[in-house]
Amino acid sequence: MRLENICIVGVGAVGIIIADRMTERLGKGRVRIVADESRIERYRAKGLFLNGVKKDFNYVTYHENRLLPLPDLVIIATKNLQLMDVIDGLEHQIRPGCTIMSLLNGIVSEEMLKHAFPSAHVLYSFARGINSEHVGNQVACDSVGCTYTGEEDGRSSKELEAVRNLFVECGLNIETPGDILHELYSKFALNSAFNTVSAICMAGYGDFSSCHELEELIDEVFSEVKAVSLAHAGVRLLDEDWSGTKKMIAALEYEGKTSMYQDMEAPRPTENKWFTGTVVELGKRYGIATPVCRSLYLTASGCEFVRLRRAGQR
């Protein structure tokens, strides 16, 4: 199975790395950066830069994309806030059997994409270990991380194998674990704890292993995520999983910033709703107390409101 035509939607800290490697190895004829007209106009006028180098991508609007061969693979690497716009933009552009990878944070995007495009083949996916900063049209990255992807039921498939081969061909790190849901919910725990707390406290990665109070706080978040993950998806997160996550974060640059920290600082709307907000929602659904995540969700929401208001965006 050959993935000939590839569309990438979202070229922020995650998407630009994949777009860069794939364009370099496969050529602009096979790889398109797809977005709405205003965004594409901005890309064409101002360009996109990775580590200070302007990238020569094939920019295509949703309308223009309708006139081109239908994609074999769509990689979505936007923020959750843009997902519904992406779904609307891709309407009538997803052929039966098209493979879709969502690299969005959280645990809801795959189900939304399955519902929107029932004839497509949606792989569960996420990125981990990327250390980057995204400001305007500039992304600085010193760790490209790894993409994790797999089938919901853990089986192998021709679609999964084709994606793995493509990433390897393009020199991109990829893992295809047998239990992708376990890995996905482990990443969800990371996002809910580290992203939320870092955004509120303006904490760098190194602060979490240096400050006892911050470490205690993220451990309490993990306990609540562990409970709702088991109730909602039957995923059993283990304490050793969490220890590994903390070690991975501690190995990153001390002053490195999570994506939610960067959004709060910019300021931009954050993905708070898809992190602790989702934990609170699932807690209500299954009768599980989530007091720490609720407090963090409300605090982050308040911080976001004030910062956006002061920037004239409220």
**Domain-embedded: residue 88:** yes
159 plus 192 within the same structural domain = no
Q: Residues with Cβ < 8 Å from 152, sequence gap 6 or more? A: 110, 124, 180, 181
Q: What is the extent of the structural domain holding 117?
A: 6-178
CATH number for the domain spanning 168: value is 3.40.50.720
What global pTM score does this model have? 0.95
* Domain tally, the chain: 2
pLDDT value, residue 314: 82
- Which of 209, 186, 205, 189 shows the shortest CA–CA distance to 293? 189
Cα of first residue to Cα of last residue in the chain, in angstroms, is: 48
**Domain-embedded: residue 167:** yes
159 plus 233 within the same structural domain = no
> What does the DSSP assignment read for 88-155?
HHTTT---TT-EEEE--SSSSHHHHHHHH-TTSEEEEEEEEEEEEEEETTEEEEEEEEEEEEE-TT--
10 plus 152 within the same structural domain = yes
Last residue of a domain, one of 145, 178, 211: 178
Last residue of a domain, one of 135, 159, 178: 178
141 plus 227 within the same structural domain = no
Q: Say which residue the tokens 């205690």 belong to.
A: 216
**Domain-embedded: residue 173:** yes
The neighbouring-strand residues paired with 100 are 74, 122
The predicted-structure confidence for 32-54, as pLDDT tens digits, reads as follows 999 999 999 999 999 999 999 99
80 plus 169 within the same structural domain = yes
Q: Say which residue the tokens 């303006």 belong to.
A: 202
283 plus 302 within the same structural domain = yes
pLDDT value, residue 130: 83
Q: How many whole angstroms separate alpha carbon 255 and alpha carbon 259?
A: 13
pLDDT value, residue 132: 83
What's the chain's Rg over C-alpha atoms?
19
**Domain-embedded: residue 1:** no
The predicted-structure confidence for 135-187, as pLDDT tens digits, reads as follows 899 999 887 889 999 999 999 999 999 999 999 999 999 999 999 999 999 99
Half-sphere exposure of 44 (CA within 13 A, CB side): 13
Strand (E) or helix (H) holding 32? strand 31-35
Are 249 and 205 spatial neighbours (Cβ–Cβ below 8 Å)?
yes
161 plus 207 within the same structural domain = no
146 plus 279 within the same structural domain = no
Last residue of a domain, one of 147, 178, 209: 178
251 plus 145 within the same structural domain = no
76 plus 96 within the same structural domain = yes
**Domain-embedded: residue 92:** yes
